[in-house]
Chain A
Amino acid sequence: MDFNFTEEQSMLRDMVRKFVDKEVKPVAQQIDKEHNVGLIQDILKKAAPLGLLGIPFPEKYGGAGMGEMGYCVLLEELSHGCASTSVTIGAHIGLAGMSIFLGGNETQKEKYLKPLATGEKIGAYALTEPGAGSDAANLQLTAKEDGDHFVLNGTKLWITNGDIADTVVVYGLTNPELKARGGITAFIVETTTPGFSANRIEDKMGLRGSATAELVFQDLRVPKENVLGQVGMGFKIAMETLDESRLSLAAATIGSAKELITMSVDFAKKRVAFNQPIVHFQAIQFMIADMAAEVFQMESIVYRTAWMYDQGNKIPREGAICKLFCSEALDRIVDKAVQIHGGNGFMGEHPVERFYRDSRVNRIFEGTSEVQRMVIAEDVLKKGSY
């Protein structure tokens, strides 16, 4: 057993940390206040030539071949600076790119994954609908066969990168009878195709710099060669993609959590009350101790699971455990961080307030905590013993 990061993974971490300190942290507050997607797009343009947008994918698809471990390191470090940026890159790599990587054939990977990995194109993943969130299998977007094409009609909701993407992986119903058991199909859709429209959704509690959109598909024709995998395989691709992306989402929470501890310690050392820095009080120290204990658990389970994934194991249970534990732990940590900051933590000029708003959605998107518990329980019960 070896718990060390490889030299390459450590160099990656150092490099991303430098990148985040210089390119992301200085604009993170502005991104949030102005809902400034443009600033994030500028960051993506700088990240692309460094190879950051293709980390987990093999070199032949324009990636860096650094696997899930490398990808988790990237998201952890990015989240020290800006959750909106981290989520934008997460949807691009971990949802859009990963769907094509897991479900696509060679031609599709060459044509669609490569430009995503090199950052030439931006990707999005469209599963959620107004009536299908946790109950993803209940999606209503229809895909009807018509000669060499499928014709898509329907609406997707809360799609990250939806209105800045060039390539969207869309999940639609090809057989309403079968639904998740072979009735759902994944399609690669170019957003320049007639019949595609995207409307930005601005009013969010957090992640205000990430582009969230409603996507409308109106008689949109997708050539059959853009079916990912095979007709009816969509739900399987969607779920396998989510297994991986839940893990990387958990990795992102580690960066935010560590940054919150640093901010809290800094603040508690400087803030004086009752004639001494508040860090001298046990009430504050115990909160810091609990935060540190949680972070240690978070990074322990995330990197162990990333290692398992890179060894070729499937991780439905472990990915769900990471996502469940880390998203909930981050909320406990950010709550303590705000408490330590007192009134300052409630004010919009302090980053801790942004972290508080940004963290909440982690317990909701990519499967709510309740869905994660369902996934974990189902897997445990299926196996019967632990």
Chain B
Amino acid sequence: MNIAVCIKQVPATESKIKPAADGLDIDRTGLSYVVNPYDEFGVEEALKIKEQLDTGTVTVITIGPEKAVEALRTCLAVGADEAIHIKDDALTGGDALCTARVLAAALKKGNYDLIFFGRQAIDDDSGAVGIHVAELLGLPHVAGINKFELNADGLKAVAHRQIEGAAEVVEARLPAIFTCQKELNEPRYASLPGIMKAKQKPMTVWSLADLDLSAEDVGASAAKVKLEKITSPPVREAGKTIDGDTAHAVSELVRLLHEEAKVL
């Protein structure tokens, strides 16, 4: 079984994020980066399936600058077999749909039975790319899964996802796309032999030209969503304590809610 996992390199979860001077990006000075935690569930699920079937290939794919190779290498160290790195300066300024177009073109070149994504990247939290790719490739998708089972015949898979007050069980014919939610599995650690072998595993680098795409298809000019500005959330002001007896405090609270907070 050929399994692809689309991953993204994101700032580490504990990073302190602030806007860059131009307000169009975050300040990336001194940030450390990790594989998007939701994508790690996808990698783990792919590895589990490969182990369970005792055959198959797990390919990790990412779009990103030179540095993103670290994220791919981490996935190879954990156990993925090969990696595809798509990098091209023309991708700057694209949106989730642009990203999806690029990944769809890359996925088309492989013959994948199963494609995993994280349910969202923890940097922009859009949660759209996996679903866009499914649409572009005309494949069924199940988003936000927390349990996955491959049917014995290998032609279908059953996935569970949490919905308001219930669990939904969805069957999909393969090839299909699944986006991974917490609780799907417990991602394993990279092993030392894995780390030492990571560099020897195949790493393919593609530009837009290799995917028959151009900046007009997937660059800033193709984006339907434009980033206007990144700002920090407003600083929360200190709370107010109302002293005095209860009757007075309640009437004062009502007055403040009405006149200052204007919520009544």
Contact = CB atoms under 8 A, between A and B. Distances in A.
Interface of A: 7-8, 10-12, 14-15, 18-19, 49-52, 54-55, 59, 64-66
Contacts of B209: none
A329 B189 CA distance: 33
Contacts of B189: 15, 18-19, 50
Contacts of A14: 34, 74, 190
A25 to B, nearest CB: 13
Interface string B249-262: 00000000000000
B contact residues, range: 10 to 19
A4 to B, nearest CB: 13
Contact of B195 (A11, A19, A49, A59): A11
Given A7-B199, A11-B198, A64 B192 contact: yes
B239 interface: no
Contacts of A52: 192
B15 interface: no
Nearest to A46: B189
A54 B191 CA distance: 12
A7 B196 contact: no
B77 interface: yes
B149 interface: no
B168 interface: no
B191 A11 contact: no
B132 interface: no
Nearest to A49: B191
Interface in B53-74: 70, 73-74
Nearest to A52: B192
Interface of B: 34, 70, 73-74, 77, 189-193, 195-196, 198-199
Given A50-B191, A51-B191, 8 more contacts: A7-B70, A12-B195, A15-B195, A50-B190, A51-B193, A55-B192, A64-B193, A64-B196
Contacts of B70: 7, 10
Contacts of A55: 192
Contacts of B190: 11, 14-15, 50
A7 B193 CA distance: 14
Chain A interface mostly: helix
A24 to B, nearest CB: 12
A50 B193 CA distance: 8
A339 to B, nearest CB: 26
Contact of B192 (A7, A10, A12): A12
A139 B70 CA distance: 51
A130 B139 CA distance: 73
A54 B34 CA distance: 26
Nearest to A16: B189
Contacts of A54: 192
9 contacts: A7-B199, A10-B70, A12-B192, A15-B195, A19-B189, A49-B191, A50-B189, A64-B192, A65-B196
B192 A66 contact: yes
User: 4 nearest interchain CB pairs?
Assistant: A51-B192, A64-B192, A15-B190, A11-B195
A11 B190 CA distance: 8
Contacts of A65: 196
A22 to B, nearest CB: 9
B43 to A, nearest CB: 14
A91 B195 CA distance: 24
Contacts of A8: 195-196, 198-199
Nearest to A66: B192
A49 B193 CA distance: 10
Contacts of A19: 189
Contacts of A64: 192-193, 195-196
A266 to B, nearest CB: 12
B192 A50 contact: yes
B198 to A, nearest CB: 7
A66 B196 contact: yes
Nearest to B195: A11
Contacts of A11: 73-74, 77, 190, 195, 198
Contacts of A7: 70, 73, 198-199
A12 B195 CA distance: 7
Nearest to B188: A50
Interface centre among B70, B77, B190, by most A CB within 10 Å? B190
A52 B190 CA distance: 11
